[in-house]
Chains A and B, each alone.
Chain A
Amino acid sequence: MVRLPYLTALTTLFSYGLLFAFGQLRDFFRKLIDWTKSKDLKGYAPICLGLEDFYTRRLYLRIQDCFGRPIASAPDAWFDVVERYSNDNNKTLHRTSNTTKCLNLGSYNYLGFAAADEYCTPHVIESLRKYSPGTCSVRVDGGTTKLHTELEELVARFVGKPAAILFGMGYVTNSAIIPALIGKGGLIISDSLNHNSIVNGARGSGATVRVFQHNNPSHLEEVLREQIAEGQPRTHRPWKKIIVIVEGIYSMEGELCKLPEIIAVCKKYKAYTYLDEAHSIGAVGKSGRGVCELLGVDPADVDIMMGTFTKSFGSCGGYIAASKEIIQYLKYTCPAHLYATSMSPPAVQQVISAIKIILGEDGSNRGAQKLARIRENSNFFRSELQKMGFEVLGDNDSPVMPIMLYNPAKIPAFSRECLRQNVAVVTVAFPATPLLLARARICISASHSREDLIKGLEVISKVGDLVGIKYFPAEPPKYEQDRKKLE
């Protein structure tokens, strides 16, 4: 939960008000200057009218160099960030051929599979030579290879469900599955902070959508009771079915969902549950099987489990795991299965090798080591940041930790100063987060060593002092205490 101090809220609002006022002033002068120049539109309506892209033009473009930074190597623990320069005050950015080696605290590389791996990469290259980069065909036609069927069985076994189905992109998985499962006359109850792909899928399905307060099982129960008693809007007929959609780890908050309570509520009211484990599969849990394992929930209690391979497995694509009948039905009617090119075979092989390492089936214990290391790294980093006085969100064991910034001016200050000291962080502002709650988000990986983390902590602490985001009182860091004890 974010506790926003009053003074900070006031100064943040004041900053945004100032930016808005200056933006309007600039727009006014721009209109004056363009009065004489003719517009080339010739009777077409402009792509963006009036204030539709005000935020982009006047606020985002000022700090454009903090986003979309290109890299020139694999997104491993250390990577090369390409330097960019601008001649017109950040409106356009040009690449140079210089790169700086920076510590990567921004990529979703939880288990360290992002770079070439000693076990995975030879298998991937072999499958590339055998099957080519693409199949040029949809799954139902000629796009199913032996690798695809092997991965589907492996994913089902890994997650603990009877069957699974694969897709080439995580975003499309949500957008195309939800319309296939529920239509007009159904009700979708989703968490208020769900990802854009779930929102798009829910809108595309035609069902009524209601929202419950983030991670609040009692509010979910209230909403369910009210909706079942009232029925469909205006006709008051009973709902055809109700699906409750939650995520395992919320990527902007870093907190785990209260899964056991939510499952209990859904079972009581006969609603179906849909769990989106994009960030938690492979990253949490003793053997990497996600939030179900971590929180002690039986996978058979969740009706549909969805996940992506981008984050913990270093590949691309998504999957859905559910009962055999549901998967058969989805294979028959889901548009992403019938119309979209099948997943690239080398990417499939990468996931197969990654899952084999995690399960220990490659003959070594690298999987268990990686899982233990990411847990240690996340807990160490989070506790150190909290001791330094930063406001860090999220639960223990979650590898995602947002640090609150609040003020819009601190976003580019934090980002640019960290880059100057060779640490690459991700800063997030409106519209991905609420207007007043801008934050910097750290993603820890199993490939970070203890020295990398200590260097990251030092830089962040120094920059935090400069920028002024240590909202809480600090304690001396543990490693310095240990060092003093040894001396």
Chain B
Amino acid sequence: MSSGPVRAAWLRIEEIIDPLFPGGTNPMRNLGALACLMFAALLVSGIYLYIHFDTSTDGAWQSIKRLSDEQPWLGGWLRSMHRYAADLFVTFTLLHLLREWVLGHYSRFRAMTWLTGVPLLAFMYVSGIGGFWLNWDVLGQYAATASAELIDALPMLDGTLARNFLDSGAVSDRFFSLLVFIHLGVPLMLLFGLWFHLQRVTRPRILPPCALLLGQLVFLAAMALAWPVTSGAPADLDRVPVALALDWFVLHPLPLATALSAAVFWSLLAVLFGVLLAMPVFYARHTEPVAVVDADNCNGCRRCVDDCPYSAITLEAHPDGKPGKQIAVVAVERCASCGICAGACPSATPFRSVSELVNGIDMPQQSVDSLRRKLVDDLAHAETAPVVVFGCRHGIDVERNRSVDVLGYNLLCIGLLPPSFIEYALRGGAAGVVVCGCADASCEFRLGNQWTRERMLGTREPHLRRTVPPDRHRVVMLGRHEQGPLDAAIDSVRKNTSQGGNP
């Protein structure tokens, strides 16, 4: 499923939305971060609600109603936000899961992140459904009884949970406190699980970019103001709550279980979780060569460690035995084969006068030496001064652009490009250089285009030397179909060259 029509369609939709959300703010590319944002909103509003909440069967409904009636500006508002944030949390999380699935992000170096994501789903549903119990209105009554009946159907339990909801006398305050405890404890487990989920992701985008974050918070606040959430009638265990206005975002498992029967529901759920947990095993994609360190060319400078998007590199004592000297070591199972480390290494500069350019850390399938050789060879054979275009094989295909006066190179990731290659190409006779990364927030390896931009701007090591004429090169971040802007960038550096002199 990782390649194919579904993946292509998903990427296409993201690209169609891209122009509406400039600067990497496309929500489809920030679903994990949006889920985190909603979770944070749930925690903050939840704390306020809990302070004013009466954890008894008789007091719960009253205390929430008081919140809405007596302080609609804060308590009622936060209460409504709490509900809508839950709806959005579920929505964003399910979309996040779907996206990672469709894009094939579940195997190899992502297996741990995928596997630790799966339990979060269970925590999410338990937290969400459990929230409805606490309100103890007719909806809460339905949610509580239906959940209890569902849990009772599990074979290993004794099946008496639903007996707690037989009549009004049956629900003791102690049992109700247990329900409250679940709604506090499981979200904390979710928070802890989230920490595990992000262990292998270096610098995860936990919050969406500013504009999107503000947009979502304003949206949430406005929804809660315009359409405040209200309670139903108080729970009455002598009567079935009929014709319920259900919150389908959170509560859909309960009617689904009733429609299918509890046994079928649990079986399907077991199969679904089984499939999710088995995906990293069964769909382990072809294994690519991973980054390789060369001891003679690594001085332990740490740059690759800082830039690796999957925490795959650590530093250990250097085998040459010099005291204090370190060497980079790659954890094979974590390496994404992106080559961002190769672009970070100071040994990658093509100006070194060695016949074979051996990098401190390099990709066997696309070494900086092979890149230098190809570039030198191509420039030597060019009839007119060509524009050199460095691109990414996950982005717009710049090799397809090759012509008499354009030389394109698709890299493993644009982050593989050592900035010194730009100066090298210009000195080697290129008319100009275009560095073309993928659209903002769409880097397959998350950080490649960001590091590239910073290296070119000189705010990250290794940086492009300031002596390189700025009008002779362009850095663009483009979607896979933005041929027009790419052509424009190529034309603009060429125009600058024909007007200016030699570097």
- Are A and B subunits of one complex? no
**A residues at B contact (CB < 8 Å):** none
